[in-house]
Amino acid sequence: MIGHGFMGAAHAQGWRVAPRFFNLPAFPVPQLIVGRSTEAAQGAADKWGWHEAGDSWQEAIAREDIDVIDIVTPGDMHAEIATAALEAGKHVLCEKPLANSLEEAEAMAESARAAALSGVRSMVGFTYRRVPAIAYARELIATGRLGSIYQVRASYLQDWLADPQVPLAWRLQKNRAGSGALGDIGAHAIDLVQYLVGARIAAVSGTTQTIVKRRPLLEQPMGLGGMGGAEMGDVSVDDVAIFTARFNDGILATFEASRFATGRKNALRVEISGSSGALAFDLEDLNALHFYDSTLPTTEQGFSRILVTEPGHPYISAWWPAGHMLGYEHGFAHQARDFVEAIVNEVQPSPSFDEGLAVQRVLSAVETSADHQSVWTPANDRDGHSKEGEDHQ
């Protein structure tokens, strides 16, 4: 595993738990954690029960006893590590978004296609697909329970940046993260919606905003503490991104990604309306899926709250008796299970790097749209008059 921050902890938990609850066709051995310093990587390895620590990802991918490379670094390292690992014949799991730019993502998808010809597998860490309620929503849509899809509303809302004293971590730097709320959390919403409705976004119109433009520099830029010092630096990414999207089969959708949505901690919300029904999901209540069946008599219609904890629901039979809910980290165990199964069964896992590229195209299109402000049609000026100088009231 290359990296050992927040996502390193989540992936380590997934790798540890998956073989203990699922009957995997191979047992993943948590061998080596690589970080910028061996000392820090060793701390993570000791804590999470990995055998070794190191500071060279090049040495890791050159090792014959290593089969899988799990990339949990900031986005600026994804392309180089993933491409080298695939060329060395290692299966690669890469955190999202796939890359920091469309060009990098295209090259990575090409490497993944070439590697797949010799049985080398690659997958992107859009883990929320593996929340049982989401996987079940996909089943309901795929089996036609919503009929034809009309419209989608998706948002991923957090508020941890609303405090201007939160320091300038790597997620707020364009050269490290690629973009801000858009790529970090908006990417999840984009992937989920494309996955759920089984269609791709064809065009977008978007806008972005950086609300707090300067923040305290991290006192120890590489450290784990996250304390801000007296010096300030520029935020180079978006805090909020909002866009409308048109799918290639005509579905219309709205998307919102914000780390300034006061009061919302981790609210990834999707609502999908179709000719036979509708679905609604909120990650802050992740064991539940809301389903509206419009084929019922009107007197019986209404959203029902399904507790997705029955043995018949995706992934659940490996866990607890019905009603004993799951949490955030279970998605990472499901991800580890699915990746190991795909490798051993010699099938292409999903989301593939091509699916990661499909998300990257949307991120890039939103940024282009926001930069060009292409669809801004004037409305009011500051005094509440028509922007064109005419007041139609």
List interacting residues with ligand SOE (CB under 6 A).
7, 96, 127, 184-185, 188
The nearer residue to ligand SOE, 91 or 130, going by C-beta atoms, is: 130
* Least distance (Å) between residue 162 CB and ligand SOE: 14
Distances, alpha carbon 345 to alpha carbons 28, 120, 248, 337, 339, in Å? 15, 12, 32, 12, 10
The nearer residue to ligand SOE, 188 or 313, going by C-beta atoms, is: 188
Q: Please, which residues have CB within 8 angstroms of residue 236's CB and are 6 or more apart in sequence?
A: 172, 173, 174, 175
Query: Residue 267 has which token pair?
Result: 């609210």
The nearer residue to ligand SOE, 66 or 166, going by C-beta atoms, is: 166
* Least distance (Å) between residue 127 CB and ligand SOE: 6
- Residue 14 and residue 208: Cα distance in Å, rounded? 34
Could you give the strand order of the β-sheet that contains 91-94, starting from the edge strand earlier in sequence? 68-71, 91-94, 122-124
The nearer residue to ligand SOE, 52 or 329, going by C-beta atoms, is: 329
Distances, alpha carbon 69 to alpha carbons 11, 88, 108, in Å? 12, 10, 14
Which DSSP state fits 329?
T
Question: Could you please report the per-residue DSSP string of 336-385?
Answer: HHHHHHHHHHT---SS-HHHHHHHHHHHHHHHHHHHHTTT----B-TTSS
Burial of residue 6 (number of CB atoms within 10 Å: 0-12, 13-18, 19+): exposed
Angle between the N-to-C axes of helices 102-116 and 78-87, in degrees from 0 to 180, rounded to the nearest 10 = 10
* Least distance (Å) between residue 4 CB and ligand SOE: 14
* Least distance (Å) between residue 43 CB and ligand SOE: 21
* Least distance (Å) between residue 221 CB and ligand SOE: 18
- Residue 257 and residue 183: Cα distance in Å, rounded? 9
The nearer residue to ligand SOE, 7 or 99, going by C-beta atoms, is: 7
* Least distance (Å) between residue 384 CB and ligand SOE: 38
* Least distance (Å) between residue 102 CB and ligand SOE: 19
* Least distance (Å) between residue 262 CB and ligand SOE: 16
Helix H or strand E encompassing 18 = helix 6-21
The nearer residue to ligand SOE, 70 or 273, going by C-beta atoms, is: 70
The nearer residue to ligand SOE, 129 or 138, going by C-beta atoms, is: 129
Query: Residue 293 has which token pair?
Result: 């069946």
The nearer residue to ligand SOE, 140 or 286, going by C-beta atoms, is: 286
Query: Residue 113 has which token pair?
Result: 């296609």
- Give residue number: closest CB to ligand SOE: 184
* Least distance (Å) between residue 97 CB and ligand SOE: 8
Q: Please, which residues have CB within 8 angstroms of residue 153's CB and are 6 or more apart in sequence?
A: 253, 254, 269, 270, 271
* Least distance (Å) between residue 185 CB and ligand SOE: 6
The nearer residue to ligand SOE, 201 or 257, going by C-beta atoms, is: 257
Query: Residue 53 has which token pair?
Result: 């620590």
The nearer residue to ligand SOE, 149 or 181, going by C-beta atoms, is: 181
